[in-house]
């Protein structure tokens, strides 16, 4: 079964708000076996809405609409739907009582504009909105299901979870849709695809493989659709195992989670601690780690040693090392990692020193040159990276490369 999502509102199209509704709706629909074919955003314009509805009918069985149900003149979704289905209006008494109770509870006067919230197209099924005044409207028309919901996220989410999803599950014989994600790092998308080409070619028709690249990492997502959930589960896991075994050295985790969260989980399970010594990343690695709840069980802290003076005073980097090799060098980054390991008293430490740009580069060390080191009780290793000339991307790539390097070191220590 296919669904289409239509979000209505000028505020989305001018970038005033971000359409988080569609992403959430697509996820929960997928969980019950309904695949989203397309997501469309349209303005508060009658003809635009009608065009979107007409096109959606040609692609999907279920059309879910959010936005444009408020009491003001710019909210025209309800009027447009009535016109589209050639319906008149009726005042829904249950909705009117609900709206009246809300205003009474808030001790606010209710005007006719508010009462009109209870006016709905006379051919729809009203689904009450427990968290707001605009009712949800369900239409069985043209052999399709149309559902119009408020655009306020918490109102829409409640209606979807409590009313719409159960009705869709009860009304349709839906298949199972399962996903399995493998997070890889340190290998490019094209090289990765070449290495697993035979496994991808051998996938059955009901299982698809998607490559989801991000800076320095690629997620492999196996997606399958079947009415035999148990068999699908076994098949997905079988092919995931083949992929993970083939890509073993590059696999961080077999789960759809952030790279830094995967590293934290691995270290927490082993009772290990981590510290960081950052220069060109300016604390970005620490930010990635500490944004996850429970990170303190692993991450002890670190230092943003941007200047040479702090590299020496905080981490114990030797003055002669900096003078002879420079701040962006294998020798310096190794001493940074070992210094963090010693002074912050952790099991592992990662260090980064580089030239993020856009200036500061030299012929032998151009912008994008980054050295990364990982240290533990067994010693320290370092690797040189040559990224591009975009500062923000260089910082992000450096953080990903450092975490990927740590992940491989942890795997080697198993």
Together in a domain, 206 and 294? no
- The answer to whether 102 and 41 have CB atoms below 8 angstroms apart is no
Question: What would the mean pLDDT of 323-336 be, rounded to a whole number?
Answer: 98
Range 373-381 average pLDDT: 97
Rounded to whole angstroms, what are the CA distances from 182 to 81, 200, 235, 238, 413?
Answer: 43, 14, 15, 13, 21
Among residues 206, 229, 253, which one ends one of the domains? 253
| % of the chain surpassing 90 pLDDT | 90
Q: Are 306 and 375 found together in one domain?
A: yes
The per-residue pLDDT for 71 is: 83
Alpha-carbon torsion (150, 152, 157, 159), positive or negative? negative
Give yes or no: residues 151 and 198 share one domain: no
- Average pLDDT rounded to a whole number, residues 47-56: 97
233 and 306 belong to one structural domain: no
Q: How far apart are CA 230 and CA 227, in angstroms?
A: 9
CATH number for the domain spanning 193: value is: 3.30.70.2860
Q: Once rounded to an integer, what is the mean pLDDT over residues 302-311?
A: 97
Across the chain, mean pLDDT equals: 95
With b for 16 or more beta-carbon neighbours within 10 A and e for fewer, the 368-382 pattern comes to bbbbbbbbbeeebbb
Confidence grade of residue 215 (pLDDT, cut at 50, 70, 90) = confident
Determine the pLDDT at residue 325.
Answer: 97
pLDDT at 70: 84
| Pair 272, 312 in one domain | yes
From CA 40, how far away is CA 6, in angstroms rounded? 5
Average pLDDT score over residue span 315-327: 98
Q: What is the arithmetic mean of pLDDT over 332-354?
A: 98
Residue 144 domain boundaries: 2-171
Q: Examine the domain organization and report whether 213 and 228 are in the same domain.
A: yes
Q: Is the pLDDT of residue 414 over 70?
A: no
> Which CATH number fits the domain that encloses residue 401?
3.90.950.20
Choice among 168-177, 254-263, 280-289 with the minimum mean pLDDT: 168-177
Percent of the chain with pLDDT over 70: 100
| Co-location of 200 and 339 in the same domain | no
Domain boundary among 171, 193, 221: 171
Contacts for 88-92: CB closer than 8 Å, 24+ residues apart? 88/121, 88/122, 89/119, 89/120, 89/121, 89/122, 90/119, 90/120, 90/121, 90/122, 91/115, 91/118, 91/119, 91/120, 92/118, 92/119, 92/120, 92/126, 92/135
pLDDT of residue 412: 87
> Number of structural domains, the chain?
3
Q: Is residue 22 domain-shared with residue 100, that is, in the same domain?
A: yes
């Amino acid at each position: 079964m296919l669904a289409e999502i239509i979000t209505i509102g000028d505020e989305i199209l001018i970038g005033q708000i971000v359409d988080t509704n569609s992403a959430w709706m697509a996820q929960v629909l997928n969980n019950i076996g309904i695949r989203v074919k397309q997501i469309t955003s349209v303005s508060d314009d009658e003809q635009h809405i009608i065009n979107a509805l007409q096109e959606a009918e040609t692609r999907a069985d279920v059309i879910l609409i959010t936005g444009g149900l408020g009491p003001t003149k710019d909210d025209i979704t309800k009027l447009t739907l009535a016109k589209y289905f050639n319906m008149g209006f009726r005042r829904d008494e249950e909705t009117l009582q609900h709206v009246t109770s809300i205003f009474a509870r808030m001790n606010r006067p209710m005007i006719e504009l508010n009462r009109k919230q209870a006016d709905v197209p006379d051919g729809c099924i009203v689904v009450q909105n427990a968290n707001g005044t605009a009712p949800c409207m369900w239409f069985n028309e043209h052999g399709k299901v149309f559902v119009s919901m408020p655009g306020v996220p918490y109102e829409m989410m409640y209606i979807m979870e409590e009313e719409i999803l159960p009705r869709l599950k009860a009304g349709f014989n839906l298949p199972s849709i399962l996903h399995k994600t493998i997070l890889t790092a340190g290998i490019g998308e094209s090289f990765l695809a070449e290495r697993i080409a035979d496994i991808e070619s051998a996938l059955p028709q009901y299982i698809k493989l998607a490559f989801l690249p991000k800076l320095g990492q690629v997620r492999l997502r196996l997606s399958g659709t079947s009415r035999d959930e148990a068999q699908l589960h076994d098949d997905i896991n079988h092919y995931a195992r083949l992929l993970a075994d083939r890509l073993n050295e590059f696999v961080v985790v077999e789960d759809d989670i952030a790279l830094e969260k995967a590293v934290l989980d691995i270290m927490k399970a082993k009772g290990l601690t981590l510290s960081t010594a950052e220069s060109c990343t300016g604390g970005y690695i620490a930010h990635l780690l500490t944004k996850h709840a429970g990170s303190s069980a692993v991450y002890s802290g670190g230092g943003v040693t941007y200047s040479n003076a702090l590299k020496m005073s905080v981490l114990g980097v030797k003055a002669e090392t900096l003078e002879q090799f420079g701040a962006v060098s294998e020798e310096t980054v190794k001493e940074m990692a070992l210094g963090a390991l010693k002074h912050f008293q952790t099991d592992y430490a990662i260090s980064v020193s580089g030239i993020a740009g856009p200036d500061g580069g030299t012929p032998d060390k151009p912008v994008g040159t980054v050295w990364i080191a990982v240290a533990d009780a067994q010693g320290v290793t370092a690797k040189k990276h040559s990224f591009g000339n975009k500062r923000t991307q260089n910082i992000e790539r450096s953080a990903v490369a450092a975490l990927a390097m740590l992940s491989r070191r942890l795997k080697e220590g198993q």
